[in-house]
Amino acid sequence: MQTKPYLTLADVKKIAAAAEAEAVANNWAVVIAIVDDGGHLLWLQRLDGANPLSSHIAPAKARVSALGRRESKLYEDMINNGRVSFLSAPAPMADGMLEGGVPVIVDGHTIGAVGVSGVKSAEDAQIAKAGIAALN
């Protein structure tokens, strides 16, 4: 039987703290969501001043990234390049096909993902990557 790493609560708290620090350092009001490899929500944090809608978008970005095993930006790029059929995906998935969802990969296994929403998409991804970098 094979084994694989998984996100512990300590890991999730470390990711969340680093992501929050990146957002606060840039004065960005965002929502940070962390999911496991099945897209199940482990953490949701809404910073002061973050748009309430971002509380729905951040987990969707994380879910798309975890289940797709890639950054959510790739789906946004496919849609922008004409693959509009992705827009017919079920609502929870279609809502997250924007940049800002980044998978957490350990030893070649996607063990979860971080989704951020609230600022420009590239900045959302920057925050997510800063959080993930705290695991190393």
Q: Could you tell me if residue 4 is inside a domain?
A: no
pTM above 0.85, yes or no: yes
CA distance 93 to 18: 26
When divided into structural domains, the chain yields a total of: 1
Asked if 75 and 121 count as a contact pair (C-beta separation under 8 A), the reply is: no
pLDDT band at 3 (very low <50, low <70, confident <90, very high): very high
CATH number of the domain that residue 112 is part of: 3.30.450.150
CA distance 58 to 42: 12
Per the structure, the complete domain to which residue 13 belongs is given by: 9-134
Q: Could you tell me if residue 102 is inside a domain?
A: yes
**Region 111-133 average pLDDT:** 98
CA distance 125 to 116: 7
- Helical (H) or strand (E) element with 117: strand 109-117
Per-residue pLDDT tens digits for 38-93: 999 999 999 999 999 999 999 999 999 999 999 999 988 888 899 888 778 776 67
Q: Could you tell me if residue 1 is inside a domain?
A: no
Q: Could you tell me if residue 22 is inside a domain?
A: yes
Q: Could you tell me if residue 87 is inside a domain?
A: yes
